[in-house]
């Protein structure tokens, strides 16, 4: 028998890159590890709602089994890196660039930087940015500006004593001038100031530039990485109006950016 609780052990929403695809992420609840029937229940519901496929948040090895048992396959791998927040390098001033807190009214401009910086698969939409900003009890949205224009941003969040670099993006037009490093180090200092004892970040395995940036800033590669899994529902019936179905969503613990 499927329970309503099972259906909500995974938070679901249309995926930003393609509304026929559902994005799912485990919610941190006290019901123990996800089971195969938890995943099956949600997949069933998404199939009924007309989704064509399902993509997961980045999952730790321990969280992948129930998805794989249901037929999900790995589609992307990510490195996981940890910073001890002991030593944080000073970052010098960058001519013509200011760092300043980001405001809700600037989300559209921030998302324009995200779109310019990331390929479609990894981009955030407004719902994804809100998720990143709501994912932790304390959050720091910092922007880099060249005059009035936002040219980079970072989202860092703290949950208990653990910090997360949730998102980092710099407009390609100003990359290679230290903006990414300045935003990253600013975020690490904020995390330490607000009680985090360490900080995690993940990055796509093929993203050599960001991997170099994180390691130069003192992050250490962790033995276990993360993976994004995908399930094709192509035998699902085509929905009549093709508009994105609206699955129920559940507020969730740290899970923004590509976490
Ligand atoms: C990753 C990213 C945030 C880095 O931002 P950035 O502003 O280019 O970063 P920096 O300028 O601090 O450093 C990048 C490079 O520029 C070099 N650099 C920095 N300042 C420099 C300067 N004044 N003169 C010359 N080179 C400089 C750095 O040494 C570094 O060199 P490397 O690429 O050989 O390692 C940016 O490339 C980006 O937005 N990428 C797409 C989105 C993404 O991948 N985000 C992270 C996902 S986890």
Q: Is 175 in the pocket of ligand 1 (CB under 6 A)?
A: yes
pLDDT digits (tens, 9 = 90+) for 97-114: 999 999 999 999 999 999
Give the pLDDT of residue 235. Answer: 61
**Centroid of ligand 1 to alpha carbon of 113 (angstroms):** 14
**Centroid of ligand 1 to alpha carbon of 178 (angstroms):** 6
Give the pLDDT of residue 19. Answer: 87
Q: Is 53 in the pocket of ligand 1 (CB under 6 A)?
A: no
Residues 38 and 96 in one domain: no
Give the pLDDT of residue 16. Answer: 79
Give the pLDDT of residue 253. Answer: 42
3-class state of residue 148 by DSSP: coil
Question: Looking at the domain assignment, is residue 136 inside a domain?
Answer: yes
Give the pLDDT of residue 148. Answer: 94
Give the pLDDT of residue 257. Answer: 44
Residues 91 and 149 in one domain: yes
Sign of the torsion formed by the C-alpha atoms of 219, 163, 88 and 149: positive
Question: Looking at the domain assignment, is residue 251 inside a domain?
Answer: no
Q: Is 169 in the pocket of ligand 1 (CB under 6 A)?
A: yes
Question: Looking at the domain assignment, is residue 238 inside a domain?
Answer: no
Question: Looking at the domain assignment, is residue 252 inside a domain?
Answer: no
**Centroid of ligand 1 to alpha carbon of 18 (angstroms):** 28
Residues spanned by the domain of 51: 2-79+224-232
Residues 66 and 172 in one domain: no
Q: Which residues of the chain have pLDDT under 70?
A: 1-8, 235-259
**Cα(86)–Cα(109) distance, rounded to whole angstroms?**
33
Give the pLDDT of residue 7. Answer: 56
Exposure class string for 66-93: b at 16+ Cβ within 10 A, else e: bbbebebeeebebbbbbbebeebeebee
Q: Is 207 in the pocket of ligand 1 (CB under 6 A)?
A: yes
Give the pLDDT of residue 251. Answer: 38
CA angle, 81 as apex, 224 and 21 as ends, to 5°?
70
Residue of minimum CA distance from atom 8 in ligand 1: 175
Residues 125 and 188 in one domain: yes
Domain count, the chain: 2
CA-nearest of 73, 19, 37 to 247 is 19
């Amino acid at each position: 028998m499927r329970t309503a609780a099972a259906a909500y052990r995974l938070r679901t929403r249309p995926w930003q890159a393609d509304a026929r695809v559902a994005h799912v992420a485990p919610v941190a609840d006290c019901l123990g590890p996800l089971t195969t029937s938890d995943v099956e229940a949600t997949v069933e519901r998404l199939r009924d709602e007309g989704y064509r496929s399902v993509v997961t948040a980045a999952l730790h090895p321990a969280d992948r089994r129930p998805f794989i048992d249901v037929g999900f396959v790995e589609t992307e791998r990510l490195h996981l890196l940890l910073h001890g927040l002991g030593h944080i390098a000073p970052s010098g001033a960058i001519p013509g660039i200011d760092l300043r807190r980001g405001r809700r009214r600037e989300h559209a401009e921030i998302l324009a930087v995200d779109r310019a910086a990331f390929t479609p698969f990894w981009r955030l939409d407004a719902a994804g940015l809100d998720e990143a900003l709501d994912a932790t009890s304390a959050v720091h949205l910092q922007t880099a500006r060249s005059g009035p224009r936002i040219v980079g941003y970072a989202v860092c969040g703290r949950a208990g004593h653990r910090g997360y670099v949730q998102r980092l993006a710099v407009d390609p037009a100003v990359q290679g001038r230290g903006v990414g490093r300045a935003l990253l180090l600013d975020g690490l200092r904020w995390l330490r100031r607000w009680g985090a004892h360490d900080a995690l970040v993940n990055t796509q395995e093929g993203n050599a530039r960001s991997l170099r940036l994180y390691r130069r800033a003192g992050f250490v590669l962790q033995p276990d990485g993360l993976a994004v899994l995908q399930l094709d529902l192509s035998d699902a019936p085509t929905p009549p109006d093709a508009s994105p179905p609206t699955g129920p969503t559940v507020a969730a613990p740290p899970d923004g950016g590509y976490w």
